Amino acid sequence: MTDSRVPRSRRFLVCEPRHFAVQYAINPWMHPDKPVDVDLAQEQWQQLIRAYRTHGHAVDSVEPVPGLPDMVFAANAAFVVGGRVFGSLFHAPERRPESVHYDTWFKAAGYDVHRPESVTEGEGDLVWTGRYVLAGTGFRTTREAHREAQEFLGHPVIGLTLVDPYFYHLDTALFVLDDDNICYYPEAFSAGSREVLKRLYPNAVLATREDAMAFGLNSVSDGRNVFIAPQAEALAERLTGHGYVPVPVDLSEFHKAGGGIKCCTQEIR
């Protein structure tokens, strides 16, 4: 089955963790009293970039800015489909300045950037499936932002409600495997949202809470290769059984801020 999975070259936007730190607490993972090893974070991040390039993916970079320790989490800065950039308006005041620097990068690269009026956190809560947008709400991104995104992007947006504070963004509870399937942790969602996902993806790969707590769902797939936290061993085995190829990349230092592989990766479509 593995040979039938076809990888697709992607273009990613990232930000070096030069100023990464846990200076405040805006999710259950963050504890400012626990030190971050910046050198280790830099080394882990470089491993991710090497893994992407080794597998044929293009990587662009935004210059990090002093005083913005979470800017490394590039996925939260925007959502890009068909060359249209739906920007971010962060829930936490501490992160709002990040948007300006990402918007500047996109505009300089020639993209049409929409400044949202409602709270929304990019690919943290907006996930492209190839046909429509799955959109998370409950902790950060608002339902009003879902409507705003649909109007700007012209693609159907399907709202999903998150109910567990440890999985405050959609990309901590779900990721797209390919144009036909997803992987997700059902209990991170409300009962109605679980029914929606079951109808849309009856053959989805289901994850456990242990998988999710290991940041196994904060993964990136190119349709064949799945860049995944090595701590999510059981999920990696399950994905292998479905014909995908796990590519373990340890970003454990970033888990201290509630982020992982996907959080550090913005996809430009």
Average pLDDT for residues 247-257, to the nearest whole number?
98
Cα end-to-end distance, the chain, whole Å? 27
Average pLDDT for residues 150-174, to the nearest whole number?
98
Q: What is the pLDDT of residues 195-216, one digit of tens each?
A: 999 999 999 999 999 999 999 9
Question: Active-site residue numbers?
Answer: 169, 263
Nearest partner of 254 among 220, 226, 232, 229, judged by Cα = 229
pTM given for the model: 0.97
> Is the pLDDT assigned to residue 30 strictly greater than 80?
yes
Q: What is the pLDDT of residue 266?
A: 98
Going by DSSP bridges, is the β-strand pair 133-137/157-161 parallel, antiparallel, or unpaired?
A: parallel
Q: What is the pLDDT of residues 49-88, one digit of tens each?
A: 999 999 999 999 999 999 999 999 999 999 999 999 999 9
Q: What is the pLDDT of residues 80-134, one digit of tens each?
A: 999 999 999 999 999 999 999 999 999 999 999 999 999 999 999 999 999 999 9
Hey, which bits of the chain come out as E strands? Answer: 11-15, 58-62, 78-81, 84-87, 112-114, 126-128, 133-137, 157-161, 174-176, 182-184, 205-206, 220-221, 225-228, 245-248, 266-267
> Is the pLDDT assigned to residue 186 strictly greater than 80?
yes
Q: What is the pLDDT of residue 4?
A: 84
User: What is the residue whose two structure tokens read 């990613």?
Assistant: 12
Q: How far apart are CA 182 and CA 220, in angstroms?
A: 11
Average pLDDT for residues 236-254, to the nearest whole number?
98
> Is the pLDDT assigned to residue 2 strictly greater than 60?
no
34: tokens are 């626990």
Close Cβ partners of 21 (under 8 Å, ≥ 6 residues apart): 36, 38, 69
What's at 10, amino acid-wise? R
Q: Are 79 and 123 in contact (CB under 8 A)?
A: yes
